[in-house]
Structure 1
Amino acid sequence: MFATTDNGLSGTGKPESVFISWLLWQPRGADLAVEALKEVQKLSRYDDSDPDITRLRSLFVSLAGADGPLH
């Protein structure tokens, strides 16, 4: 059984930990910028009021190489 921790925010885990886990699970040779953009699009569906989601989205935006806002 897996233990979960609550960091006092959304309970989803630290955005940086989620981001690193995502990176480690990408297949060899994957275009990380393209895959990161897909994650940005998925995360855009969520409300920006959660600071964890906002931070995670910004990490993916950075990896995708976006200079401006992504939709």
Structure 2
Amino acid sequence: MSVTVETNPCGSGRPESVFISWLLWQPRGADLAVEALKEVQKLAPFQERDPEIVRLRSLFATLAGQTGKPH
């Protein structure tokens, strides 16, 4: 028997993958800009800790209409 340690247990964990998963789980008719703004606010306290969180927050901010194109 061997034990495998998953270094990234939540799938790819890439900001784009997380963002797409979030989009797919939104209910039909949801105001995506409003919901994305909620995610921007949730991620705000963590933005200084990890560049991937910064990227994810940027994706949500773009959808919310707070920024231009994501970098």
The TM-score with structure 1 as length reference comes to 0.75
Q: Which protein, 1 or 2, shows the higher relative CO under an 8 Å CA cutoff with sep ≥ 6?
A: 1
- Could you say what the CA RMSD is over the residues aligned between the two structures, in angstroms? 2.1
Is the CA contact (8 Å cut-off) linking 1:5 and 1:13 kept in structure 2?
no
The TM-score with structure 2 as length reference comes to 0.75
Distance 1:32 1:21, change over 3 A: same
Q: Which runs of 5+ in 2 are unaligned?
A: none
For the residues of structure 1 that align with 2:65 and 2:6, how far apart are their CA atoms? 32
Q: Which residue of 2 aligns with 1:42?
A: 42
Aligned with 1:49: secondary structure?
Answer: coil
For the pair shown, the structure with the greater C-alpha radius of gyration is 2
Q: Which runs of 5+ in 1 are unaligned?
A: 7-11
For the residues of structure 2 that align with 1:66 and 1:48, how far apart are their CA atoms? 18
For the residues of structure 2 that align with 1:47 and 1:59, how far apart are their CA atoms? 13
Matched AA of 2:27: P
